[in-house]
Amino acid sequence: MLLEDCIALDDSFQRLVDDAVFLKRYYIESRYPDDLPEDVRPEEAVLAMTAASHLREFVLAARQQKGNGHG
């Protein structure tokens, strides 16, 4: 998993594990549309979007910090 590789290089990525594990259940289903769950509740969709936002914001911040010569 990509996150494991990131953690090996920078252990601060460890904080993303819970969000990544939560989102992983939707990954396979989104790759194979015939297998999309029909029972995803709106609350789950909100949680998934929040988790995805956490991942994105962390990676963008880490990239920005790296680009500024920090880390």
Cβ atoms of 65 and 71 within 8 Å: the answer is yes
Give the residue ranges of DSSP H helices in 1-71: 2-9, 17-31, 42-67
Q: Which amino acid belongs to residue 27?
A: Y
Q: With cut-offs at 50, 70 and 90, classify the pLDDT of residue 70.
A: low
Please report, for residues 8, 34, 62, the alpha-carbon distance to residue 14 in angstroms, rounded to integers and kept in the order given. 9, 33, 13
Residue spans of the domains in the chain: they are 2-67
- Give CA–CA dist 17/19, Å, rounded: 6
19 vs 70, higher pLDDT: 19
Question: Per-residue pLDDT tens for 16-59?
Answer: 999 999 998 877 666 666 665 567 789 998 999 999 999 999 99
Cβ atoms of 37 and 29 within 8 Å: the answer is yes
Question: At residue 3, does pLDDT exceed 80?
Answer: yes
- The average pLDDT across 56-65 equals 93
